[in-house]
Chain A
Amino acid sequence: MVAVAGFVFTGSLTRVANAGGKKRPKAAEAEEAAAADETAEKDTSDSHAQKASEPAPEKADETTADEEVKAPPKAEEPPRAPEPAADVKTPMAVPPPPLLANEPGWQFGFFGWAELDAMWDSTQSFSESVLNQNIARPYTIAGDNARFQATPKDSRLGFKAVAPTFEGMKASAYMEADFFGVLPTTATQDQSYTYSSIRLRQYYAKLETPFVDVLAGQTFDLFGFGGGGFFPSTPAFLGVMGEVFHRNVQLRLSKTIMGEALGVEIAVAGVRPASRDAGLPDGQAGLKLLVPAWQGASAQGPRPAKAAPAALGVSGVGRRVTVTDFNASTGNPRNLLGWGVAADLFLPIIPAHGEDLSNTFSVTGEYSRGTGVTDLYLTLTGGVLFPSLPNPNNVLPAPQYTPNLDNGIVTFDADGLPHTINWEGMMVNGHYHFPFRKGKMLALSGTYSRIKSSNALSLTPLQNSYFVWDKGQYIDGTLWWRITPAFQMSLSYQTMQQTYGDGTVARNNRAEASWWFFF
């Protein structure tokens, strides 16, 4: 059996050729369980307010960690014979199978879920997802009128392929997609809800070696340890307001060492920069500590809970931000430094007993702050935009400033000098599992998060202060009912508010019912 993204599937394609074939240490299993959890949260992004969930790239990561623990130094493994060519093993009348599926030792898994979300909002601020998007001000059409939506877009489809271990190295690939692809702006309302297009969430290759693991492709950012078991238990599309949540293209090097009492993961990554004209990738790094003997119920996003070890993660990001000069006669680009730090915690307050999650209570928390890293909080801008170029002579057409950077990361002050936007966020989530069916039938969860900026308003001209908010908070409560091991539903109430520049508080209340079938 192979576990991928929190799902366990049998190797029906081919048998699993676990090169080492050694029995896993308990610590490694715990780690894997933790990894399994980190999967599915829902997130969203983009103007069309897409949401998405996250899979568990982690799963693959876990596998790596396991290997690390159980396998003796890979250098000592006897060299393996080269894999025979595919066509040698294929009957002559049959063309070569795809992905070398008939090769001994290959694994190929298919997973996902079908999901329906039905949502009522007290305002017309959002399409499917909330995230960090602006809430419509009260006493406006959008702020005073309700909206109801239903969508299957967060349904998930994915696969993982694992090659036979070769000279102690294990190569794999992971792919996951949802249906929050960007639709044309000409799409009608009917089309935008029913003609969903696929969206790539994660797609990466991974090579696990005795010395270091290499991940190349798109997955969660290391900053905030996305997919690392620190997501809140909520049916809301992740990330919730103030939570670090982002996927990106990256090359990551990591090393995990698991002991009986303590596990350590160290990772660094070069990440596609928010500012491509900076000429450099963003740098991210993280350190995660695990306590395998201290297990609790971990429920990532809408995923069913599993036992996972207590964990603490600290991570950081550094980047160069390059922005076009703010001038009608453009000068040289301006360079700034962006940075962020985050601490994440998974704490089993009432621990689990093996796989029995009855009467367990766990808390997940995150604190983060940074400047010039707004894009790592999904859809966050706070309404901060670039200013208009002065046009005192009312020249037509008016001079236009064309930024080379997304809104909300940097803006210019009254003297035309660039500044990165500061944000500070925190999130805490707790969930309790009732003692029915080993704690895997009924659960309650709650989330509180907040975010604030120290300079979003002061860097905005007065005319736009009505459109900029610098404080936001989010609260939810959810009842989870896993009717069968594969079929789950939830009822959730979510309330969120933002404080705009003139002191006006905009608030949205959401009632959400969701159904999942996991496969």
Chain B
Amino acid sequence: MKRFVRMAPVALSFAVAALAAGCNNYGATGRCGAGATCGGDPSGSWAVADGCEFQPVRPTQPIDTSKFMGTVGTQWPALIAPPQPQPTLVQQTQSGDWCSTLLVTGSGASTMVTNVFLWHEAPLVDPADSKVSFFAADHSYTTRLMLTTKKLAPEQRARNATHFAPRCLQANGGNPSCADLGAALTTFYMAATPTVPSTFDNFNCTQSASDGGCDCSYDMNILVTDSGRWLQPNNANNTFDPGQPMVQETDALLFNGVEIDSQGPSPGMTFKTDLCRGGNELELSGNNGTPLLGVYGLVNLTLTPM
């Protein structure tokens, strides 16, 4: 008995560790949790009723590094995830640019912005402007997802703001007022995306009381469009077995009209999608926590017939 008592703490410590080790979450799906995988037939045209996203804060893989880095005079591609100081590094080694790479010249009506990379919160899917269709006859699909920070809660939406110190405004010979800067930013984004929503809009720039620079607030929008084929399961009735993911092969995945590719051109890029059709609902989720429909941070969607 005495010996047992002496060994009890040792055994207890290992037991606690063993029990605790069984309490794993997964992480890749953020707060959304794992999606249902009951299978079923996805065919039909679906409206987005609900969805779940999370804000990826670790810069794992940018959608495309070369496009992420951009080139002089072109805009940064629209990104769902908030910009990371060093997008290609998981371990950050610098805290980012205070000026958000702003390049502004001139003043008054001649103020011109030719480069900027604004921080933003992750936008949310706007159900009213989003739909997904799986066509049974030729196994093609189309996706339209509108994501916007206008759908965020007010306090989170308010975080879409950047401070430009006087040093940033004057670094390239510019001397704009804050109103000039706001107008020039609007023009910059409108010019780049004439056929789709501006990546950033609703600019409101006011003079900062702290240092005389400009505090600019704004909204961020991304229209994701995709089309391609979904590979049918091993049966004729297009019904997926429980646990069997649907493979989608894209022809063109566009973010605000710009083709997005991860490891090459988007045509031929594939996604694995878990699905669960129950009654009049279809739930889609990325397989094993991977991004749904190629949209980083999008975890699952609940769809209803259109």
Contact = CB atoms under 8 A, between A and B. Distances in A.
B211 A511 contact: no
Nearest to B92: A467
B51 interface: no
Contacts of A491: 9, 12-13
Contact of B165 (A118, A140, A415): A415
Nearest to B20: A120
A125 B27 CA distance: 13
A377 B2 CA distance: 43
Contacts of B85: 385, 388, 461, 463-464, 467
Given A122-B20, A146-B20, A460 B95 contact: yes
A137 B57 contact: yes
B9 A481 contact: yes
Interface string A85-115: 0000000000000000000000000000000
A350 interface: no
Contacts of A137: 57-58
Interface in A499-519: 502, 511, 513
A71 B16 CA distance: 54
Interface residues of B, number: 56
A489 B99 CA distance: 54
A142 B27 CA distance: 7
Contact of A386 (B20, B84, B95, B165): B95
Contacts of B93: 385
A387 B97 contact: yes
A415 B163 CA distance: 11
Contacts of B103: 392-393
A146 B14 contact: no
B3 to A, nearest CB: 12
A141 B29 CA distance: 9
Contacts of B10: 489, 513
A513 B17 CA distance: 9
Contacts of B92: 383, 385, 464, 467
Contact of B17 (A463, A483, A511): A511
A463 B85 CA distance: 6
B72 A393 contact: yes
A386 B168 CA distance: 17
B149 to A, nearest CB: 14
A264 B292 CA distance: 68
Contacts of B115: 392-394
Contacts of B167: 414-416
Nearest to B25: A144
B95 A394 contact: no
Q: Which of A412, A414, A502 has the most CB of B within 10 A?
A: A414
A118 B94 contact: no
Given A148-B17, A385-B94, A139 B30 contact: yes
A51 B10 CA distance: 23
Given A390-B168, A415-B167, A513-B10, A143 B27 contact: yes
B99 A463 contact: no
Nearest to B115: A392
B83 interface: yes
Contacts of A139: 27, 30-31, 54
Interface residues of A, number: 49
A478 to B, nearest CB: 12
A197 interface: no
B262 interface: no
Given A393-B103, A463-B84, A511-B16, A145 B26 contact: yes
A390 B58 contact: no
B21 interface: yes
Contacts of A393: 72, 103, 115
Contacts of B196: none
Nearest to B21: A146
B158 interface: no
Interface in B70-105: 70-72, 82-86, 92-103
Nearest to A462: B119
A479 interface: yes
A461 B25 CA distance: 31
A244 interface: no
A336 interface: no
Given A120-B21, A393-B115, A463 B83 contact: yes
Contact of A387 (B57, B98, B163): B98
25 contacts: A118-B13, A139-B31, A140-B58, A145-B25, A146-B20, A146-B21, A146-B24, A385-B94, A386-B95, A387-B96, A387-B97, A391-B97, A394-B115, A411-B95, A414-B98, A414-B99, A414-B165, A415-B165, A415-B166, A460-B96, A461-B96, A462-B161, A463-B83, A464-B95, A513-B13
Interface of A: 118, 120, 122, 137, 139-146, 148, 383-394, 396, 401, 411-416, 460-464, 466-468, 479, 481, 483, 489, 491, 502, 511, 513
Q: Which 8 A-B pairs rank lowest in CB-CB distance, beginning with the nearest?
A: A513-B13, A392-B103, A463-B96, A144-B27, A414-B165, A144-B25, A141-B27, A464-B95
Given A466-B57, A489-B9, 16 more contacts: A120-B17, A140-B58, A146-B24, A385-B85, A387-B96, A388-B85, A391-B101, A392-B101, A393-B103, A394-B72, A415-B211, A462-B163, A463-B119, A467-B92, A483-B6, A511-B17
